[in-house]
Structure 1
Amino acid sequence: MILALVTLALHGALAGLFYTFSMSVMPGLNAIAPEQAEEAMRSINRKILNPWLYIVFLGSPIAALVAGFLAGGSAALWFFAAAAVSFAGSFLVTVGINVPMNNALDAGKMSWKDYSSRWTTWNTLRAVASIASLVLVGVGLANL
């Protein structure tokens, strides 16, 4: 039960992080000059790489997977589904799309105009996947 609650908290934190970026950070950056937005995003991308992010980002699918193995029964299926959605919709999208775009912005190979809309679209997908994972964990908890 404790691991399931930790799993819920991790997924909630990750969903909130991605949601916040799409709903406030990116619109806020789009409201300033592109050069300022690029510099601010570069700073954000450097500072976000910290242990707290890694605990939430990597911990969410791992915790759901472990919770699934420990839960058994129908609850296990919900936790496994949460792990799969989190892995595909958050982890794979992040490492395959958002991080390469961050690196391109950081290297000056992508303009804010080319970056912002595309990055936000993929980030919103991460938010939706993380919210779906959160719901799946919740259903898993209800089936314990």
Structure 2
Amino acid sequence: MLVLALITLVLHGALTGLFYSFSMSVMPGLNAIDPAQAEAAMRSINRKIQNGWLYLIFLGSPLAALAAGFLADGMAATWFFAAAGVNFLGSFVVTMAINVPMNNAIDAGKLSYQDYSPRWTTFNTLRTVASAAGLVLVGLGLTEL
């Protein structure tokens, strides 16, 4: 159980860091260059980020927290289930409902970078906050083991 809880913590930390790095460095960096170059760079990023490492942390975080919740008891289980729920809603649902469709729109040339960046970054920051909250909840679960 402890190993699964620690894996859950690492997955949540990695996901939080990924989202955080986009909001605090990648997007501001792209915003500082010509919009056409930023748009081309974002298209490339959106294509390259879809790989096994992303899927491991993106899908693995809520699933590992859910599994930890089922294996734990008492308050630990509650914290792990809460982490799974926060991560699922704040990361997975927001990504699939907002960020991915925006990525597809910019990739298809249906959305300008100037319209894309502020909205995408706002929702990415929401994903960051949700992932960080999930990370804290996993940490709380670990303290109850």
Q: What range is the shorter-chain TM-score in?
A: over 0.9
Q: Distance in 2 between matches of 1:112 and 1:15?
A: 24
Question: Tell me, what secondary structure is at the counterpart of 1:49?
Answer: coil
Letter in 2 for 1:60: S
Q: Distance in 2 between matches of 1:65 and 1:138?
A: 14
Instruction: Give runs of aligned pairs for residues 36-51 of structure 1, distance below 5 A.
Output: 36-51=37-52
Where does residue 125 of structure 2 map in the other structure?
124
Q: Distance in 2 between matches of 1:57 and 1:74?
A: 25
Kindly tell me the number of residue pairs found equivalent between the two proteins.
144
Where does residue 115 of structure 1 map in the other structure?
116
TM-superposed CA distance for 1:72, in Å, is 1.1
TM-superposed CA distance for 1:90, in Å, is 0.1
Query: What TM-score, normalized to structure 2?
Result: 0.99
Structure 1 segments (4+ residues) deviating >3 Å: none
Q: Distance in 1 between matches of 2:74 and 2:144?
A: 8
Letter in 2 for 1:124: T
Where does residue 21 of structure 2 map in the other structure?
20
Where does residue 79 of structure 1 map in the other structure?
80
Letter in 2 for 1:120: T
Where does residue 91 of structure 1 map in the other structure?
92
Q: CA RMSD in A?
A: 0.3
Query: What TM-score, normalized to structure 1?
Result: 1.00
Q: Distance in 2 between matches of 1:38 and 1:15?
A: 24
Deviations 1:21-52 (A, max 9, x none): 00000000000000000000000000000000
TM-superposed CA distance for 1:68, in Å, is 0.4
Q: Distance in 1 between matches of 2:124 and 2:86?
A: 15
Deviations 1:94-136 (A, max 9, x none): 0000000000000000001100000000000000000000000
Where does residue 138 of structure 1 map in the other structure?
139
Q: Distance in 1 between matches of 2:85 and 2:129?
A: 14
- Structure 2 runs not aligned, ≥5 long: none
Letter in 2 for 1:28: G
| Identity rate, percent | 75
Question: Tell me, what secondary structure is at the counterpart of 2:50?
Answer: coil
Where does residue 10 of structure 1 map in the other structure?
11
